[in-house]
A and B are shown apart, each in its own frame.
Chain A
Amino acid sequence: MEKKFMKGCEAIAEAAVRGGCRFFAGYPITPQNEIPEYLSWRLPQVGGAFVQGESEVASINMVYGAAATGKRALTSSSGPGISLKAEGISYLASAQLPAVIVNISRGGPGLGSIQPAQSDYLQATKALGHGGFRAMVFAPATLQEAVDLTYNAWEYAERYRNPVMILMDGCLGAIMEEVEFPEMKELTADNVKEWCLDRIDGREDDHMITPILPEPLLEKLNIGKGMQYKMWEKLDTKVEEFMLEDAEYVVVAYGIAARVAKEAVLRLREEGCKIGMVRPITLYPFPKASLNNLDYTKVKGVIDIEMTIPAQMREDIELQVKDRCPVYEYGRSGGMLLDDDGVYEAIAKIVKGGE
């Protein structure tokens, strides 16, 4: 294992290469430019291809083509560009192609702001494109977690033949932390997918990759996908549960917000408050059980902390809390950052004020 002090965007770019990524296409947008910049020299070193697309629309469709060849393909962007990728992501889901999409999110809506925000939760978890499909959404809170999730993202994408999203805000993309990189994955001819366009395995039959299907087959695909989403919930939900045993208040936060909120939780614990935290690592599948199974004879309130206003995860939380206690929210938005004192005070007011 190799340790390096690295910037978030570059760390996930390197993790992607080590995870077997051999194709990248993307279009410049702040705050994720270090990903394409890094991959422009790094991918050729390992025999991969880098293309600066003419738009996000073109880039995601290049990824669609690359993924169809069985190569591990990646694109990255931020809010405005992710919106443009929506069409292509839907086509990936329809044609059952694995690929990884990174969103280093910024303030929205519209051109919004280039400063960090968690403003794309609903887009990522509910509707990455038209047609009613889902994709796994990984939301790391540290750069090490970002490296590990990115490194393994294609395993999930290929297992389920579905796009996977890594959702990280501009703070995590820009900060520097020490990370340990896993070994380079060696993908041999054995890894060639039985459905892909490559003929390296010497196949003689023909392959069709299609985003359009006759109605009965499309219905069948969607029924299968529905079952798959249920399976993800059972097998692939990732969550951190922190100090929940005796908790009377439970904070729910992901990514950068969870880092800030954890400080507040620790500070309040020192002051004697019984408070814990649930940190979704997969936003989809959402860690329902962690919230549904709380002991509501003890829990007096659940507090949703997000770097966006209004809170976007709230409905998912409320569906699990089921009115068994009040749900509160606090956040900043538009590229205004959460800070330790602001989050502490917002939570303290609820916990101590018995609000």
Chain B
Amino acid sequence: MAEYKRPQSLKPMATPYCPGCLHALATRLVADVIDELQQSQNAINVVSVGCSALNLYTWKGDVIGAAHGRAPAVATGIKRCLPDRLVFTYQGDGDLAAIGLAEIMSAANRGENFTVIFANNQTYGMTGGQMAPTTLIGQKSTTTPFGRDPMTTGYPLKMCELMAVLEAPVFVARYALNSPKGVMDAKKGIRKAFELQMAGKGFTFIELLTNCPTNWGMGPIDTLEYMNTNTIPYFKPGIYKDKESEA
């Protein structure tokens, strides 16, 4: 019988995330896959600015904090110098899809051989729930108190779709972490991305749809239901690019 244990790649301490926050699950999935691949000593976690910065203190393994949005540039510098290490960034949606849009698109377009884990919670969690580039139309935030209005703020950015039109990325996929199936699929996707990186195949991008009970102002269970009815219809889970299988 499989034993449910704390991943080796996390320090033996309580999760720093709010109750019900899927950042905790997303981090755990990454840690589990790294354990399974026996890469905990070989991995380098490039932590971004946002709630995910908390991973600086909970990650067991080599870890580096990047400036807001710049994790793909930092990972580029690391991977070019240490090509044999398993390098990944873990970024929120404000970090990746707003302030860091140039860095993510350019790193992907260069086909840098590292993996991006993109936690899309449709809000700026760390700074208290302002509108993110991924906030849904009509979704309330502290800077869209009446709901996001596309006439003044545009539309939620679909990063997987953007990534998929680039030549260089080898694997681009989106998973929703609000159901057991979504979680299992996500874990498989993360594993595939890391394996492709270890085989030197190139840039891999995993988007994980997550929640933010605190800033969405909902109980954790309600956020999962909200994701079913609002998030998933707009941000459709699926594999957007799989160069190896196509080949």
Chain A contact residues, CB within 8 Å of chain B: 22-23, 25, 49, 51, 53-55, 57-59, 61-69, 71, 73, 87-88, 91, 95, 197-199, 204, 206-212
- The answer to whether B64 and A58 have CB atoms under 8 Å apart is no
Contacts A65-B46, A65-B73, A68-B78 aside, 18 further interface pairs with beta carbons under 8 A come to A49-B80, A51-B77, A54-B102, A57-B70, A58-B70, A62-B77, A64-B70, A64-B73, A65-B75, A65-B77, A66-B80, A91-B67, A199-B62, A208-B63, A210-B56, A211-B66, A212-B53, A212-B65
Chain B residues within an 8 Å CB radius of A87: 67
Mark contacts of B55-69 with chain A using CB atoms, 8 A cut-off: 1 yes-contact digit, 0 otherwise: 010001111111100
Chain B residues within an 8 Å CB radius of A54: 102-103, 105-106
18 sample A-B contacts, Cβ–Cβ < 8 Å, listed by A number:
A23-B81, A49-B80, A57-B102, A58-B70, A58-B76, A61-B66, A64-B74, A65-B73, A65-B76, A69-B81, A95-B65, A197-B44, A206-B63, A209-B63, A209-B65, A211-B66, A211-B67, A212-B65
- The answer to whether A210 and B77 have CB atoms under 8 Å apart is no
Q: Decide if B82 is an interface residue (CB 8 Å cutoff).
A: yes
Q: Decide if B41 is an interface residue (CB 8 Å cutoff).
A: yes
Q: How far is the CA of A74 from the CA of B77 in the complex (A)?
A: 11
Chain A residues within an 8 Å CB radius of B66: 61, 64-65, 211
Which single residue of chain A is at the shortest CB-CB distance from B65? A210
- The count of chain B contact residues (Cβ–Cβ below 8 Å) is 31
Take A62-B76, A62-B77, A65-B76 as given contacts and tell me if A88 and B70 are in contact as well, using a CB distance cutoff of 8 Å.
yes
Chain B residues within an 8 Å CB radius of A25: 76-77
> How many whole Å from B6's CB to the nearest CB in chain A?
16
- The answer to whether A61 and B70 have CB atoms under 8 Å apart is yes
Q: How far is the CA of A73 from the CA of B76 in the complex (A)?
A: 13
Q: How far is the CA of A211 from the CA of B78 in the complex (A)?
A: 16
Chain B residues within an 8 Å CB radius of A210: 56, 63-65
- The answer to whether B64 and A197 have CB atoms under 8 Å apart is yes
Q: Which of A58, A69, A73 contacts B82 (CB 8 A)?
A: A69
How many residue pairs between the two chains, A and B, have CB atoms under 8 Å in the bound complex? Answer: 116
> How many whole Å from B4's CB to the nearest CB in chain A?
24
Mark contacts of B148-168 with chain A using CB atoms, 8 A cut-off: 1 yes-contact digit, 0 otherwise: 000000000000000000000
Which single residue of chain A is at the shortest CB-CB distance from B103? A58
Chain B residues within an 8 Å CB radius of A67: 77
- The answer to whether B56 and A212 have CB atoms under 8 Å apart is yes
Chain B residues within an 8 Å CB radius of A204: 41
Q: How far is the CA of A197 from the CA of B77 in the complex (A)?
A: 12
Q: Which of A51, A55, A57, A68 contacts B64 (CB 8 A)?
A: A68
Q: Which of B67, B81, B106 contacts A88 (CB 8 A)?
A: B67
- Please list the 4 inter-chain residue pairs (A to B) with the smallest Cβ-Cβ separation, ordered nearest first: A65-B77, A61-B73, A66-B77, A54-B106
Chain A residues within an 8 Å CB radius of B46: 65
Take A53-B73, A65-B46, A199-B41 as given contacts and tell me if A208 and B56 are in contact as well, using a CB distance cutoff of 8 Å.
yes
Chain A residues within an 8 Å CB radius of B102: 54-55, 57-58
Chain A residues within an 8 Å CB radius of B106: 53-54, 58
> How many whole Å from A56's CB to the nearest CB in chain B?
11
Chain A residues within an 8 Å CB radius of B42: 199
Q: Which residues of chain B in 70-111 are interfacial with respect to chain A, using CB atoms and an 8 Å cutoff?
A: 70, 73-82, 85, 102-103, 105-106, 110
- The answer to whether B41 and A65 have CB atoms under 8 Å apart is no
Q: How far is the CA of A207 from the CA of B45 in the complex (A)?
A: 11
Count chain A CB atoms within 10 A of each CB in B76, B85, B102, B106 and give the residue with the most: B76
Q: How far is the CA of A57 from the CA of B76 in the complex (A)?
A: 13
Count chain A CB atoms within 10 A of each CB in B46, B74, B77, B81 and give the residue with the most: B77
Which single residue of chain A is at the shortest CB-CB distance from B11? A206
Chain A residues within an 8 Å CB radius of B74: 61-62, 64-65, 68
Which single residue of chain A is at the shortest CB-CB distance from B56? A210
Q: How far is the CA of A53 from the CA of B75 in the complex (A)?
A: 13
Take A58-B106, A69-B82 as given contacts and tell me if A23 and B77 are in contact as well, using a CB distance cutoff of 8 Å.
yes
